[in-house]
Structure 1
Amino acid sequence: MRTTTGKPGAARRLPGGEIRSGSGTDKTGRPMKQGASAAERDLAALRLVGMPAFVLEVDGRVRLATEAAAQLLGLHCSQIEGRSFTSLHDTASAEQVEKWLERCVSGPGGPVECLVQMRLPEAGRLSARHQACPVAGEGGQLVLVQTARVEAAPTPVLDESSAGAMSLLLPRSAFERQLRALLADPVRSTSCLLQVDVDHFKVLTDRLGSAAGQAVVEFVARTLIDELPSHLVVARGGIETFLVFLRDTALADAERIAHSFCRAIRGTGPTWNHEALHTSVSIGIIEFQPRITSAAEALYAVDTAVRQAHESGGNAVRCYQWDDSIIIRTTQAFNELPRLQRAINTGSFVLYFQPIRNLTGPPGPAAGELLIRMVDETGALRGPGTFLPVAERYSLTAAIDRFTLRAALAWLAANARMTERIGYISINLGGQTLCDPAACDWFEKQVCAYPASGAKLCFEITETALIRNLAPVRGFLGRMATLGCRFALDDFGTGFSSLGYLQSLPVDFVKIDGAFVRGCDEDPRARTLLAAINDLCHMLGKQTIAEFAEKPEILDVLRDIGVDCAQGFAVSHPFPLDGLPAWLLQSEHAGAPDSIRSASRCG
């Protein structure tokens, strides 16, 4: 829900004239008392999700600072609160910040941004972006400032050997050729495969930028070459991934080598802009078995092992266990690929629709998300959990995205008389589509062919797709927004890394991940966190949609804390898109009909 920040003492006014006092937590994370000021609620939300922020008096003194803001500057909150905000900046930026604050206090009340240099201990400097807006405080107007680090592209401190280490690695294509040769040999020696992943790489690049991430990758590459026995084959497996082939090596010896490397690299790392980048890795191992017949199968298994290492917290080694259940699951995944390719070639998919209910006012036009099912060779429907992971692994999601858009546009054209009852239809997009300029051209052309359809479409993108592909995603959103399309950020809250970007992107809706919604009716802590996330999204001017609202009691909690919309079984089970006209007609009189809800449970 788009919000505005008013003059001193004003509460947030939502479209339609509704006044919401909000909810949140105090400094300790406890639920706030009723009537807490907008500044208190907003700062509490920012504290809870670890976002750097300050609350300023109108004279520029810092009243409050989040722990994340203090950490960003290498200080304690007590060293910041009470000081002039300009004193936190270098001489060149201080005057700029003073004028910027005056403009914020006396301006119309919208967000105001500026780029500055902030002081760090020992004469260091931090490039930062401030965004400020006036908020209501107990004694009058205050200023809420959100701060984000801006990548200044400094040069990492690396020795020449680290900088050149990448050239010593085998390309992945050459590595896979060696792997295929091994698997084709009828007489195999005992051998193992390692996958080495840099831990928390996305967090690092979100905080310091891609150049800092590259510095860490080069450091790990150099350490691999120095620490591992010289006869081992080391290759680049991905952006932050390395592959190591251990010929004539038993599993126990491979584990010993992997643990030794973890210990060697833990807590070390390059220096970046006066900051030591402490590094750790997660390692997955497989021992080649006679049942492994393809390089793809071996790489799939070792990737599964390294994911388990990541899930255990990182800095860990995990071996792939070749028990019967894992073999069955791996085989099923590979069997799914030709089935999926056939479905893409023949268009053997069916779209389901799951309604999204407005919780803060009259129902209004219907809205919902399109969910895809695959029709297999027997005519049975297969859920997305069986084929979407395979599509992601083998870069087939773009084809599924195109099918979904074509089908949605065809449905809107065939049901033109029903479209005034529809607010929007939401379509999920993968990173492969968002990063491909040709796909963007294709989507734009398709929507232009149905001029009235743009305003009825909402594209959902995940936090992961946004963070890893910010520049192309920004371009895609900008082009589609000119056609009237809307956008939702999906699975929000699983990383919090997109908060800094969320303000500058044309995202209309934030879908709060179900992990924060389930149990909110029973666990006060879950309710507190959910309320803080909701308040933070409102502060950024976004409407909120709670996913996995599976019980009426959860809907009651969502209404109470002011979540705008809900999606889940408590609203409606998914049903075939062809059933939407009947659902629309019947819901005008008595809500979503029970008959359709019951019939849709198979979806």
Structure 2
Amino acid sequence: MTMTRVRPWRNLSLSVRIKLASGALLAIVGSAYFSLDLHNAIDFQRSNLEQGLQYELDFLAPALAEPALTGDYALIQQLLDQRVRQPAIQSIVWVDSGGHRLHNAAVATDDTRLAAPSWFARWLDFPGFARAKEISVGGETYGRIQVVMAATTAVNQIWQQMLSKLGNLLLSIATLFTLLGALVSNGLRPLYALKKAAQQFGQGDHALRITPSGPPEMQACIHAFNNMAANIEHLFGSLRASGARNRLLAVIVEQSNVPIITTDLQGNITSWNPAAAALYGYTAEEVTGQPSSVLHLPGATGEFEETLARTRAAQPSSFEAQRIARNGLVLDVLTSVSPLYDEDSRHIGEIGISRNITRQKRAEAALAKEKERAQVTLASIADAVVTTDTSGNVDYLNPVAEKLLGWRLDEAFGHALSKIFQGIDEVSGEPIDNPVDLVLQQHLQAEVRGDAVLVSRHGVRFPIEHSAAPICSHEGQSIGAVLVFRDVSASRNLARQLSWQASHDALTALVNRREFERRLESLIGSADEFGRQHALLYMDLDQFKVVNDTSGHNAGDELLRQLGALLNGRIRGADTLARLGGDEFGVLLADCPLDRAMEVAETLRLTVAEFRFLWQDKSFAIGVSIGVVAIAGRREGNADIMGVADAACYAAKDKGRNQVQASPNTRELNQRRGEMLWVARINSALEENRFRLHYQRIVPIQEDDAGGAHYEALLRMLDQDGNVVPPMSFIPAAERYNLMRALDRRVVCMAFEECRQRGQGATPAPMISINLSGDSLSDPLLLAFLKMQFADYGIDPRNICFEVTETAAIANLEQANALMVELKSMGCRFSLDDFGSGLSSFGYLKSLPVDYLKIDGTFVRDMAHDRIDAAMVEAINNIGHVMGIKTIAEWVENQETLEALRGIGVDYAQGYLFGRPQPLAQLPIPEFLPRESLAQPGPPENTLPPEDQIMAGF
């Protein structure tokens, strides 16, 4: 097998090397000489051509002057033909001032033919020369003479010169090579003699010596050979003298089960025992005399050089290395190398004892890989991880732990965990027990705790959840502990924000109706139990609708915000101001008797009356009607108290608005007043047909969704004067006094009649969404009524979608589910309205066969600027899509919100951005809604703000 790489230069003899080097040098010198000489020849020929051209012009100009003056064209032609016979002249042309042109006849001579090879002429690229001169006599011009000189003659002369000089150069090189060969052969004769002697010496003639001759260098080589021969002869004698000892040592080496290898000072293998042969697969005959690099991995030349350096330095050493066996298997070996001496204590090489540690190295590599995988895993997780030894001292921190604790691993390593992990109780502020100490003492896993605050190295505090567990070996022995903790600041903040939003109004930041009612129940309980006196104020703004109608909902929202802040500053810190919905507010006055409550109510009324709302270039004055109810030791629900306060408020409105009205002392009287007020109004509107339906578009907003027209029917009631009564004024009363069934049936009949009239020419007919209240969902006769209406009006059930609120559906889950299943079998569709407003479980959604989810507008309106609202909308949308339900976003009032909904993937949108609610007869019903209409606002209309459109049936 080839042990070293063969280089062609090393295989050449000295004579050939000298000749090649000399030839290369001569070629370089000759090329430089030829280049310089060729350049000179070109310059010389160029100069000759230019001089000849100038001579011809100087000769022809005076010679042609007289015939040009007399117009003797024959003489001019004769002169031109004579001169063109001169060498190197290619053509002569004469042109007079009148445009008459004469030129020489074509003359071909041997001098103008190209004698050099064509490639040489192309390589020279020698151009021709042309020059012209005016023929003037007495200041008058009589023509122009032009002479063109050919370069062929110059190229031929340059070619002949180069041929002559090339022959001389080649002759010189041949002569020099002959002389060099003779000199080298004569100088190498002693070397040939030395070679022959070395061959004889190798054949066993150890007494052979050579007489020095030749140059001093050859004589030095011969002296070295003679000294080497003498030393080897002496060595063989010593070896023969110590043969017995060497044979004993050889037996020991041969029988050893440990691989033993010896090398000389050049690193060549000199012995190889059977154990080495078994390990590497080579026999002693195959490797003896080979360099030890035969066992090295390919390309490991540096290691071989290190081996030679150790050998020459005669230094014992031990090292791990990789070796390659004959079958290509890579082995890891541990080698101990010591210098090897002869009987005269001369360093003659090395002896190496090897041990196969391949399995050990593989095990170590596997262990390191597992450790690396574990560290990468720990570094990749989002939780902070700290591991300790059995004494509770830190031995590892992942990057998250370093960031939270403020300690780097190299700083914390070896320190007690209690020094870098300092936690305190979130409530008491007292230090908490070290969780790792508890684990190491009790050998139990510590449960997750979320009531701790971590104090970092830099004093930063943040809440954490943490747990600890023991780390055990395969035998079950404890070898340390692991502490895992995470920063829960974001989740805590989110929980607090969600809790705040659940109990506060998003627009005014005041307490919402739910929290208000909870606090009212608390005050009622304290009044019943301890006899304390409290008061409730029910406030309804007057002329608020004027602001909305004239300046839009943005102005109305800003008015509510300013009034909320203003009124909140007029009550005590222990009192509660809440926005109950729309333009209605409530105040709870704790420990306040009725007379004092009346004074507070009057103060609030005056505050609102004196307030001037400025919007753009307009100023608005508004009022407020306030109903006051005492809470004093009566065991009654908040609904009754609220009803009494509501009635008192409307009594104030009936008396002319902007007044304070106390509730009657007798509750029954107050209830009857409320019943008569609202029951009479609603029944009168039903009898006089003063209910109207307006319709609002529901628009597909995704590119791949281009369905037909879809509208929601919204109920409006007109008073005796034809003015629109706010839905929140009569819908709560209708729900409270069981009038919703009648209203829902009236809405169905009105919608079916209008759909029949309007839908006769529409293809396809628009889909109409009709709201059903919770009271109607529990009506056992509703299904029969709806089937009859479908039959009477000839309405296709596939064009009708019934909307039920999330709260109503859950409250009547069994009846709602049965009704929905029956109507869906007919082709109707269902939409779950105000989804998310009640924060009820998504689990109920699986029980209801709905087609659309209407995302509550309180989350939609500010989602472009509120990440929590956007997250709620996205969560509802994702849940709906997972269940195969389309989603509809309410209260879409600007393009920014629309783009945010598109990005989330919401399917439909509904709001003032696409148009105000209008009677069906005024709405265009296209076959398909164009995409460009999605952002076009509808015409202004005296309608209600989005927060008033949250009740079923309008």
- TM bucket by the smaller chain? 0.3 to 0.5
TM-score (norm 1): 0.47
Bigger radius of gyration:
2
Higher helix share: 2
Q: Which fold has the larger relative contact order, with Cα–Cα distance below 8 Å and residues 6 or more apart in sequence?
A: 1
